[in-house]
Amino acid sequence: MAIQPIRLFGDPVLRTPAEPVVDFDKELRKLVKDLTDTMMDAPGAGLAAPQIGVGLRVFTYYVDDQLGHLINPELDLGGETDEEGEEGCLSFPGLTFPTPRAIRAVAKGFTMHGEPVTIEGTDLMARCFQHETDHLDGVLFIDRLDAKQRKLAMKAIREAEWSGLSAPVVKISPHATQGRAL
Ligand SMILES: [Zn+2]
């Protein structure tokens, strides 16, 4: 077991786009193991490498008893949007908000051994793939909320016990509100 500390909102690593994996080596396999151990210990449904301070495009997932990982993921989204599904994040302990996500996602990427894989997910699995791939782009679930929910989220974050170690930064979402971050 190699459980790592999970970085919390406010840590700049969570806002830094991760680099593609180039070397499918022993260190990558250790990273996948650390992510898996840390995710299962939390416990969580998914964990992205930046959440343990590693800027590589790698995530693990554990949804509907399916445990896996994906390297250098690319997503194709389809189906309707689930506007109401509650979503949380291990980097925002204790908080969940209704977060719009596509209900289907086809994730293409590689295993830690460099083999190409395609995984199709619906519902929670699709949500997980979108959430984790966002992490690799420095995007957080609060960026996906509508204006009202984001306002609630920022208030809850300010009041959270874990918050305040560094100044939070919120990106302006593509759907934003006259360019104002709430
Ligand atoms: Zn997360």
Cβ pair 163, 174 in contact under 8 A:
no
Q: How far is the CA of 100 from the centre of ligand 1 (A)?
A: 15
**What is the C-alpha separation between 127 and 104, in angstroms, rounded?**
8
pLDDT tens digits, residue range 45-67? 999 999 999 999 999 999 999 99
Cβ pair 134, 107 in contact under 8 A:
no
Rg of the chain (C-alpha set): 16
Give the per-residue pLDDT at 66. 97
12-159 in CATH: which number? 3.90.45.10
Q: Is 70 exceeded by the pLDDT of residue 165?
A: no
Residue 120 annotated in active site:
no
Give the per-residue pLDDT at 140. 98
Q: Which of 63, 62, 14, 21 is nearest to 38 (CA)?
A: 62
Phi, psi of 70, rounded to the nearest 5 degrees: -145, 135
Q: How far is the CA of 140 from the centre of ligand 1 (A)?
A: 7
* Domain boundaries defined on the chain: 12-159
The pTM of this model reads 0.89
Q: How far is the CA of 9 from the centre of ligand 1 (A)?
A: 10
CA torsion sign for 82, 85, 90, 92 is positive
Q: Is 80 exceeded by the pLDDT of residue 1?
A: no
Catalytic residue among 19, 74, 132, 161: 132
